[in-house]
Every structure is written in C-alpha cells, then in structure tokens.
Amino acid sequence: MTGPRYPSLIASLPETVPFVGPEVQERARGAEFAARLGANENVFGPSPKAVTAMQAATADLWKYADPTNFDLRNALSTHLTCTPENLIVGEGIDGLLGYLVRLLVDKGDAVVTSDGAYPTFNYHVAGFGGVLHKLPYHDDHENLEALLDKAAEVDAKLVYFANPDNPMGTWIDGARIEAALDRIPDGTVLILDEAYIEFAPKGTAPNIDPNDPRVIRFRTFSKGYGMAGARVGYGIAAPALIRAFDKIRNHFGMNRASQVGALAALLDPEWLAQTVANVTASKLEIDRIAAQNGLSTLPSATNFVAIDCGGNGDFARAVLAGLIARGVFVRMPFVAPQDRCIRISAGRPQDLTEFEQALPEALQAARTPA
C-alpha cells in the first residue's frame, strides 16, 4: 500500500506555516488570552451596517457567491476612481498574493523582498519554486530603491514592498514611490502591499495610474474595516493583469456574506473614521505604557506599534514569552536587528490594561538570569 507521490519541490519544503494562530497557542497553554494584541486584528470590529448586512445574507448562503464580485468591484471602482476592469477581489491579500505568484513565478524565477518582511509572501514563492532574494531593512524601513536595483540585477519577476510596513509599522511618502517607478526593470512587477493604508498619514498612498502595467496594489477589508475573519482583499492593476487572474483563481472562493459585508462596510465611512480615531488613541496609550517602562516605540502608520525592548532578539523573545505566559498575546519581527522589538496591536482600554499590568513583570522576568 502506497501513499501520495509528492513532487520533489513539495517534498523539499518544511512543514511549517508563516504564523501560529492565537487559538493554537491557547490550546497549548490550556487557557484563553486575556488580551489578543498580536495579529494586528482590528478589535474595534466591523461597521454595524456590515454586520447587519452579513446577518441578512445568511439566509441566502445556499447560493454560491457571484464569481465576478460585480457589486463590490463596481463600488470599489467608484471609491478608487478607476474602472471595475482594474480590480480583482479575492480571499484576503494572502490569497491574492498566492494567485499572483502562481500566475507569474515559474520554478527558478527570481523574486525580491526585504529580509523580515511579510512572511506569507515568501511562503507562496517557495511553494511555487521561486528563488527569493532578500535585502536588509534600512533604519527599520524597507528600502524600495535597493529592492528595485536588486530586481534589475537578478531579473526578478516580482518585487514585494509594503507601505506602511509590517512588522515595523514604518512608512515612506507616496511621492518617493512615484519617483522610483522608472527604476522598475522591464518584465518586473512591483507588488505594493497597502494593507494598512487607512491608518496612514495623508500622502502615504502614491498617485499611480491604475493602468500602469508595472504595478499591482493590494488592499484589504481586514484592517481598517475590521473584517479579518471575512477574508476580503482586492488588487488594483492594469486590466490585462487583472484578466489573467481568471486563468488560475478560485472563481467561487469568495464567501457570499463576506461580499455583502464588505460592500456595506465600504459605504460606511463614518465607522471607518471612528475606527481610525480609536486606533490613534490606542497607539498613544501603547507609547505611554512603553515609556513608563523605560522603552521606546517606533512611529507607526498602522494599527500596531513596534516597541524597542532595548536589547537583542533573545531578550525580546523572552519578553514576548513572559507576556504570553501572563495571558497577553503579542508577536514580534523575526529577523535581526528588527527582532529587538515586540509588536503590539491597537487594543481596547481593557486590553491595554492587561498589557500594562503584564509588561513590567515580563521585563523583570526577562532580565532575571535563569
């Protein structure tokens, strides 16, 4: 009796995933977290109008979702001042990244990213046999110009750049991205991940023609709109690239209720504005808590704050372990020197009270020799 015959590429991959979910950690520790501040979820939640729309849609879940995402794409095109033909909707940015890599990357093709940037993109590239070329951060920022120069050197199919950045929360002005567009090599596509753009200062989003064949921009309803569990992301690109997704995407991958909820959320800008205000206030509170413990924070254009623990990665990992042991779920960057930090998602007052109580104890435990 034999089992499945894995291709050599799949057999060579490690049996790992980019993130271990908080639920997995809760089962391992035998208790729920008192504060869930690690996954950059928007704890302030979705628009009540979105919730109502999704609840109403449940009676129609016997139907498949519209495979063209017609209503949502048309509303997004009005919101973004582009055409529906410039838009692809999919199962979060993670799902769309997977489709894009499948579409453009063959085994052995070069792909450029920053060392320590969003690991799910790397996961997809490895899964399709691409070759990752990684460059270090510069002053806790991804270095766009260096990434594009590396792409020319290795003839990269894709360059990944997040603005604002995850995991550091840093950002660059949109004008700098616009100035760098002519550095994109022929045959290379720049992925501009704008998952956190709703939280960013004015001028962070560049002015790029949606018909520019050199760029695809990804955005999401997971962060600003508080719908991470609904899995709704979208891409903005030239129509030819958007049409190409139809060759390989799961046409019925979207959830019908998620489509309806995202549309209702998009049409409730007042809730989004209140969420942004809540996140801004929460980040200021995280800054205060860090400062009262002698720690510094990085400026953030996202819904999280990177706290510099003042030591190396091992020390930050010990602090993180201490917080988790005390019921506060957080995460941290994976790669030095950014791994000197822990990353705290914007939370409600009760979440930050738990964090404020746990942090000094976690710091003390990390500083105490075993």
Confidence category of residue 15, pLDDT binned at 50, 70, 90: confident
Which pLDDT value is given to residue 18?
81
Q: Residue 200 burial (CB < 10 Å; 0-12/13-18/19+)?
A: buried
Residue 348 tokens, joined: 């409600």
Domain presence at residue 361: yes
Token pair 């790992």: residue: 16
pLDDT tens track for 123-166: 999 999 999 999 999 999 999 999 999 999 999 999 999 999 99
Instruction: Please check the confidence at residue 202 and state whether its pLDDT lies above 80.
Output: yes
Residues contacting 240, CB < 8 A, separation 6+: 213
Domain presence at residue 248: yes
Confidence category of residue 16, pLDDT binned at 50, 70, 90: confident
Residue 252 tokens, joined: 């019925």
- 335 plus 212 within the same structural domain: no
Is the overall model pTM greater than 0.85, yes or no? yes
Check if the beta carbon of residue 325 is closer than 8 Å to that of residue 363: no
> Last residue of a domain, which of 219, 245, 268?
268
> Residue 162 forms beta bridges with which residues?
193
CATH classification at residue 359: 3.90.1150.10
**Phi, psi at 345, each rounded to 5°:** -75, 150
Return d(Cα 43, Cα 51) in angstroms, integer: 14
Domain of residue 210: give its range: 59-268
pLDDT tens track for 21-63: 899 999 999 999 999 999 999 999 999 999 999 999 999 999 9
- 258 plus 274 within the same structural domain: no
Return d(Cα 177, Cα 165) in angstroms, integer: 14
SS3 of 192, please? strand
- 302 plus 156 within the same structural domain: no
pLDDT tens track for 181-191: 999 999 999 99
pLDDT tens track for 63-83: 999 999 999 999 999 999 999
- 263 plus 286 within the same structural domain: no
CATH classification at residue 131: 3.40.640.10
Find, among 154, 131, 165, 117, the residue nearest to 333 by Cα.
117
Return d(Cα 236, Cα 239) in angstroms, integer: 9
Which pLDDT value is given to residue 1?
83
Average pLDDT over residues 8-28: 89
Domain presence at residue 1: no
Confidence category of residue 227, pLDDT binned at 50, 70, 90: very high
- 292 plus 186 within the same structural domain: no
- 227 plus 89 within the same structural domain: yes
Q: Helix axis angle, 92-104 relative to 119-127, nearest 10°?
A: 40
- 295 plus 338 within the same structural domain: yes
> Last residue of a domain, which of 224, 252, 268?
268
pLDDT tens track for 233-258: 999 999 999 999 999 999 999 999 99
Number of structural domains (the chain) is 2
Confidence category of residue 369, pLDDT binned at 50, 70, 90: confident
**What is the 3-state secondary structure of 3-69?**
CCCCCHHHHHCCCCCCCCCHHHHHHHHCCCCCEECCCCCCCCCCCHHHHHHHHHHHHHCCCCCCCCC
